[in-house]
Chains A and B, each alone.
Chain A
Amino acid sequence: DTGVSQDPRHKITKRGQNVTFRCDPISEHNRLYWYRQTLGQGPEFLTYFQNEAQLEKSRLLSDRFSAERPKGSFSTLEIQRTEQGDSAMYLCASSWVKGSSSYEQYFGPGTRLTVT
């Protein structure tokens, strides 16, 4: 399977703990995106990378959130001092972008985070 993969699929943590999620994009894709989705809502943009460079961060991404894509391949999203409001599905997507055109983003299965 050469789709986008995410690990873990589910994470339950206690408030105040740190969590880290991993995303492996489709191998030839140069762009990688993180979104967050809560029940009954559409996904909300968090951040995205072009290769290893983080190009944009949403204002939703507080200083407790950090994302990296160190070698331009997989990416990690870390949440420090988790709060109950962080409970959501964290979706990763990837795409191949050339120039200024938009292309289809392929989504991974998501990591469901529950903060107790």
Chain B
Amino acid sequence: GQNIDQPTEMTATEGAIVQINCTYQTSGFNGLFWYQQHAGEAPTFLSYNVLDGLEEKGRFSSFLSRSKGYSYLLLKELQMKDSASYLCAVTYNTDKLIFGTGTRLQVFP
């Protein structure tokens, strides 16, 4: 299989930093995506990693280690509007996205 594992739920405080981890099977790995999904809405793209290292985009950063089959999404200066599900998705050989179950993040004041 191509299990994509990420925590089911996380909580954090407004203004804090949170790291959401994702692990995946490495065989056939092509690239890794992070999407944000608010309740009842479509997923929206956050980041794409294909090479090892950190990609920074404003308050959000994503890290990839291809050899370890590991990625994380780092959210800084959390805001209430960041309360959402964060989906880790991987492409293997083909272009289809294989998603994890998502991590539901709740930000409290």
Whether the Cβ atoms of B48 and A102 lie closer than 8 Å is: yes
The size of the chain A interface, using a CB distance under 8 A, is 24
| Bound Cα distance A56, B98 (Å) | 14
The number of A-B residue pairs with CB atoms under 8 Å apart is 56
The size of the chain B interface, using a CB distance under 8 A, is 24
| Bound Cα distance A33, B89 (Å) | 14
Cβ of A87 to closest chain B Cβ, rounded Å: 15
Whether the Cβ atoms of B31 and A102 lie closer than 8 Å is: yes
Contacts of B84 on A, CB cut-off 8 Å? none
Given contacts A102-B31, A102-B48, A104-B33, contact A43 B95 (CB under 8 A): no
Given contacts A42-B100, A102-B31, A102-B50, contact A110 B95 (CB under 8 A): no
**Interface residue ranges, B against A (CB under 8 Å):** 4, 30-31, 33, 35, 41-45, 48, 50, 87, 89, 91, 94-102
